[in-house]
Chains A and B, each alone.
Chain A
Amino acid sequence: MKYAYFPGCSLKGTGRAYEESLLPVMKHLGVELQELDDWNCCGATAYMAVDEGKACAAAARNLAIAEKSGLQQILAPCSACYLVLNKTQHYLHEYPAMRQTVSRALATVGLRCDGSSAVRHPLDVLINDIGLEAVKQKITRPLKGLKVAPYYGCQIVRPYATFDDQSNPTTMDRLLETLGATVIKWPLKTKCCGGSLTGTLPEAGLRLSYILLKEAIKRGADVIATVCPLCQFNLDAYHPKIAAKWEPVPIPTVYFSQLMGLAFGLPADQVVLNRGMVPMKPLAAAMA
């Protein structure tokens, strides 16, 4: 199995633990990932707010590069990238005027995008292409006793994803159960973490992160598992500010891929728990 890999800016920056843990896990499962040549930023939520035409064209440059590479499947682990690339595909299919603008713009540099590639999320690939049976066979250290709150955030299942339910997704639940973990039931799976508002408008943004952390603790979780670099950042890096404003809510947030690496018995430098700011006590116990 081979996929084009679109890392996005965050996975090369503050979200590097996601890439550092996901790549070894995929390799371990026999999946080959080829990083897109000279990919550019997907535009995230910010570009769409300024100029939709340019936002689509910038995102489409990546789709065009993928098509040129001959790989029809693009793996996009970051929720914002996943949404924007999918949204661009939808716009190109649904809106002829947008398709024309983007095609003409790409043609000026000899690129073309016919919208034929599929943008996929790692959870989708793990469940539907690789299969939980194959995942199970790689487990050497089941996460017995570890209570995990699965947190999907907003942008992977809404509004375009078809691989999971929009208000009660379960793909990560099933993956975590396969790893041997106990999955906590909680109603905030897809509630917004505050997105970039944690930085731009802390009064509103931090409160949303605080609610998530508090609820996860209340439900008895040891750790929160996430699929998004921005969610991970918000739920991890702002602890001191949240503690100062409300109360300490000391629960670590890790990427699902880190938990997979842990269960697969991969070396510590491929699980990278040292990248988190909140102490990882319960996970350290699972590692021992």
Chain B
Amino acid sequence: MEIKRTIKYEADRVPGFGRDVMSVPGCEALEHCIQCGTCSGVCPLSIYMDYTPRQVMELVRSDFKNEVLQSHTIWLCASCYACTTECPRQIRITDIMYELKQRAIKEEVYPKRFPIPVLAEEFTKMVHDYGRISETWLVTKMYLRTNPMAALGMAGLGMNLMKTGRFSLKQDKIEHREELAKIMEAVDHENGKAKA
């Protein structure tokens, strides 16, 4: 059994993190959170989260960067927008979760073999390379990087998809892949992230 400190220290904070997140367009209203817990109450996934949505909101606002970026919560968020719809302070909780996911990926602090961020990364790569998603390959890539053995458990599902004519091994692509690549490159450039 691992005994860990459960109370946070002032020294755990990364001053400025909260301000920084709240300066992102769409995330500003976080400042007005009243910690009512409505978001946690309506969230269908909160029972699995290490921090509930309400707690994440306060942790962000109070600069506990490492706690939120390394949490499972942000990856468990299924983007159902129930919280955003119900929040009495019009805080776009779902969009804040997205902002946190992006930061966790950028800083490479997400749980490495956790399938959810891996799926997001492979999905993005496939859109980048082909312009379209082919579900079979996407799922295969995710399993290879996370838990190859679990792929065996999917054999039955594959058979049923085949039986109903919904299985395909074709990698779908768009015609003008160079056009999409150029657009993506231009976004990187605009964001000042162009590789030298």
Please give the residue numbers on chain A whose beta carbons come within 8 Å of chain B beta carbons, in ascending order.
9-10, 12-17, 38-41, 43-54, 57-58, 61, 91, 94-95, 97-98, 100-102, 104-106, 108-109, 111, 154-155, 158-159, 166-167, 190-192, 194-197, 199-201, 203-205, 208, 237-238, 240-241, 274-277
Q: A47-B127, A111-B183 are in contact. List 14 more A-B contacts (CB 8 A).
A: A14-B167, A45-B78, A45-B79, A48-B79, A54-B188, A57-B183, A58-B184, A94-B25, A105-B190, A108-B185, A166-B85, A197-B76, A201-B115, A274-B164
21 contacts between A and B (CB under 8 A): A9-B133, A9-B134, A10-B135, A40-B132, A45-B78, A50-B101, A50-B105, A50-B121, A58-B180, A105-B187, A109-B183, A154-B80, A155-B80, A158-B81, A158-B82, A192-B45, A195-B78, A201-B116, A203-B48, A204-B45, A237-B157
Say which residue of B25, B26, B119 sits within 8 Å of A196 (CB atoms). B119
- Which 4 A/B pairs are nearest by Cβ-Cβ distance? A46-B123, A158-B81, A105-B186, A154-B80
Q: Which of B29-37, B53-61, B62-70, B170-178 contacts A (4 or more CB under 8 A)?
A: B170-178
Give the residue of B166, B175, B184 whose beta carbon is less than 8 angstroms from that of A14. B166
A51 to B25, CA, bound (A): 14
Chain B residues within 8 Å of A, Cβ to Cβ:
25-26, 44-45, 48, 76, 78-82, 84-85, 92, 94, 98-99, 101-102, 105, 115-117, 119-121, 123-124, 126-127, 131-135, 139, 142, 156-157, 160-161, 163-168, 172, 174-176, 179-180, 182-188, 190-191
Bound complex: CA A108 to CA B186 (Å) = 7
User: For residue B92, which residues in chain A have a CB less than 8 angstroms away from its CB?
Assistant: 159
CB-CB under 8 A for A41 and B85, given A154-B80, A200-B142: no
